[in-house]
Amino acid sequence: MINVGSDRYLWERCMVLKISWYTYMDKVYGCWLGKNAGGTLGGPLEDIYGRDEMFNVWWYPRIVEGGIPNDDLEIQLVWLQALKDRGILLSARDLAEYWLDCILYNPDEYGFCRMNLRRGLIPPISGLYDNWFKDCMGSPIRSEIWACIAPGAPDIAARYAYQDAICDHAGGESVYGEVFNTVLESSAFVISDRVKLVEIGLKAIPEDSKTAKAVEAALDAYLDGLDWMDAREYVRRMVYHPVAQYSPINLGFQTIGLLYGRDFGDAICKAVNCGWDTDCTGATVGAIWGIIYGRSRLPREWIDPLGDTITVSSGIANICIPSSLGELTYEVCSIGRRVISYFDTSIEISDTDHFEDAERIIESKLESVRGLWSIPYDRIEFYSNSIRVYVAYLDGPAILPGIPNRFKVSVENLRSIPVSARVKVHTPDGWILDPHTLVNLDIPGKGVADTIFTVKAYSGSICSSNKCLVDIDLVGRPGVIGIPVNFVGGYVWLISDVFYGDLSIDTYLPPEDDVDLYDIGDGWRIELWSESRLEVERFFKGKPGIIYLRHFIYSQSERRVRIGVPNNSIMKLWLNGSIIHETVKPVPLRPNYSGDRSNYTDAKLRSGWNQVAIKLLRSSRPLEAYFTIADSERYGGIPDLIHWKLPWE
């Protein structure tokens, strides 16, 4: 007999929410119509940096049949394709395959995610490694599909959203942003009180996160009776960031639109007029409003001008695009019926709607959502019927010449009977492994055992993608589990001494004689860095000055590229001895692949070795700088470049 102490257990088992097929379809349809309208409203106003002044738009700046193509919606069409192809038991690794097959564009975090995936890193490492944009809006904007296939089941929706977000935002605020949106939207199928929905969403994310801080600021302003424009300033002060796509500030602004909106149009306009990532905030508020009120109660003056067609950009490929938002709605609801039937939810599709006690039922589901935050972002996971295997990158996924790198293999026994496992690691040729022999693990029933391995390699044996294979053989049980553990090549730089003083970027200094020197030269030292960040601030010792850096890149062919040195000061850039760019004007740091309108230029790499030289000026504030290089067509990372060795090695 089950004895769970029991009133709550029995209540949870007996209480069921019911939603009719008509209501379900109406709300999902309303979600997509609202999403399209809000994105079309805000799309023409989006910029890469936020602005202090508010917008003042109260109608579409530009009306296009089908709306403006928007990653907010079209990536969710890719996830729909994944659900249709792979079924409802999707993981982040499933979604990663669709990133590579179907999503061709590379702005910000999307570009770093694709580059990491192409080099063999899997989620969550694909979203964690060398990704400055993991606190940005790429994942909170694609929450609706998970809410729509799990209406009134925020715990199920959140699990999908989490798997989605860690592909390109692991370790960042954006994971919280997507889960917040998904939980709120799933709950909106059965709860219409917007304040209560915001409070439910907050219970699903860490209280100390910046996302929670931003949403709470908007909620407090509303409950305290502040004007919506004053609320905007309050949120902006609390979580300010100059980059328009920074997730926390946008979650605050969308909350303002949702709470202060008198009607649909007023809500999406207020969200958009707050500024920053205007298409995203408008689209999310429109989607939430559409779920709450359904297609049947959305104002025709906002919906009819855009029609029912779906507009998709050339950045999406290899999917079957629904012919209309109506067809999209039917496909999503058909999958949702399967999700509701498969998982242990407290909602069923019925002939009638029954939302009584929805708040209590919904809130009882949130504890499992909060359990997501204890999952480490630096580990990958595999499992079989008998065991679950975790591999944690203790020193990160970049391998540097001559530097040991540790990873931990943990084996969890899913059975109640003790098992023994033999663990063997296979490394690329020329790598040094410790321990290099077979490791035996005795694992108690329902227990865990682990061991740490160290790998070391030198520049000649490092590639762009370096696959280690962890074989785990359970004694007395059939089969061997093979776990791929990939490492990527890091970065080797030559660094000059610092030239101290209040110098001009145009001041000629001796290292400029070496910008085309294929030797280490005098006064240069080698620095090994795991990521694209130029870690030079520590050399300045808090003083103004100038530093030079040299870096060698091997290209298999001649190619056009975009090279950038995004930084918060000013710089000069040489390629193969010729100066090719200098900072146009200081701008906020934004280290993506495509550009920040100041610190990037197009250039040509020659076949073979190329040398980049950089001159960085530090003023009175700490210097932050990165180095990026991408192809010139879609501004994506180039995985076959060699940048972890020196030409004379």
Q: Is the pLDDT of residue 11 over 90?
A: no
Rounded distance between C-alpha atoms, residue 381 and residue 91, angstroms? 11
Checking if the pLDDT of 479 tops 90, the result is no
The mean pLDDT value for 250-255 works out to 98
Q: Are 162 and 179 in contact (CB under 8 A)?
A: yes
Distance CA 329, CA 55 (A): 32
Q: Which of 638, 559, 541, 567 is nearest to 605 (CA)?
A: 559
Give the orientation angle of helix 278-293 with respect to helix 247-260, to 10 degrees: 40
User: Domains in the chain and their CATH numbers?
Assistant: 7-374 (1.10.4080.10), 379-488 (2.60.40.10), 491-631 (2.60.120)
* Sequence-distant (≥ 6) Cβ neighbours of residue 558 within 8 angstroms: 604, 605, 606, 607
Q: How many helices (H) and strands (E) does the chain have?
A: 20, 22
Question: Quick one: pLDDT at residue 411?
Answer: 96
- Give this prediction's pTM: 0.96
Cross-strand pairs, 452: 408
Residue 47's pLDDT band (cuts 50, 70, 90): very high
CA distance 404 to 395: 9
Classify strands 559-564 and 570-575 as parallel, antiparallel or unpaired: unpaired
Of residues 37 and 3, more confidently modeled = 37
496 in Cβ contact with 527 (< 8 Å) = no
618 pLDDT above the threshold of 90: yes
Q: What percent of the chain clears pLDDT 90, i.e. is strictly above it?
A: 94
Please, are residues 372 and 124 in contact by the beta-carbon 8 Å criterion?
no
pLDDT of residue 72: 93
Q: Are strands 465-474 and 419-426 parallel, antiparallel or unpaired?
A: antiparallel
CA proximity to 278, closest of 249, 306, 304: 249
Strands 448-456 and 559-564: unpaired
Could you tell me if 186 and 147 are in contact, meaning their C-beta atoms sit under 8 angstroms apart?
Answer: yes
Instruction: Decide if pLDDT at 371 tops 60.
Output: yes
Residue 2 has pLDDT above 50, yes or no: no
Strand runs labelled E in 515-556: 524-529, 545-555
Would you say residue 8 has pLDDT above 80?
no
* Bridge partners of residue 488, in order along the sequence: 398, 465
Q: Which helix (H) or strand (E) holds 167?
A: helix 154-169
CA distance linking residue 272 with residue 401, whole number of Å: 49
Write out the two tokens for 31. Answer: 């979600």
pLDDT over 80 at 257, yes or no: yes
Rounded-to-integer distance, Cα 202 and Cα 433, Å: 46
* Residues forming a β-bridge with 448: 412
Tens-digit pLDDT profile for residues 502-560: 999 999 999 999 999 999 999 999 999 999 999 999 999 999 999 999 999 999 999 99
pLDDT score for 385: 82
- For the record, the structure tokens of 527 come out as 């620095």
Residue 555: strand pairing partners:
608
Determine which helix (DSSP H) or strand (DSSP E) holds 381, and give its type and residue range: strand 379-383
More confident residue, 84 or 3: 84
Q: What is the pLDDT of residue 549?
A: 98
Section 388-399 average pLDDT? 97
Distance CA 479, CA 452 (A): 23
Predicted pLDDT of residue 13: 54
Instruction: Please identify which residue in the block is written with the tokens 């609706």.
Output: 144
Average pLDDT over residues 59-83: 92
Question: For position 64, what pLDDT does the model report?
Answer: 81
3-state secondary structure of 175: helix
CA atoms within 13 A on the CB side of 65: 2
How distant, in Å, are the alpha carbons of 344, 371, 422 from that of 413? Answer: 25, 21, 13
For residues 145 and 336, what is the distance between their CA atoms, to the nearest angstrom?
10
Q: DSSP code of 307? A: -
Question: What mean pLDDT do residues 263-287 have?
Answer: 98
- Residue 12: the pLDDT is 53
By the 8 A CB rule, do 464 and 639 touch? Answer: yes
DSSP-derived letter for residue 473 is: E
Q: In which band, very low, low, confident or very high, does the pLDDT at 10 lie, cut at 50, 70 and 90? A: very low
Query: For all residues of the chain together, what is the average pLDDT?
Result: 95
CB 71 within 8 A of CB 141: yes
The pLDDT, as a whole number, for residue 383 is 87
Give the per-residue pLDDT at 68: 84
Q: What average pLDDT does this structure show over 599-605?
A: 98
Q: Running DSSP on this structure, what letter comes out for residue 443?
A: E
Answer whether residue 238 shows pLDDT above 80: yes
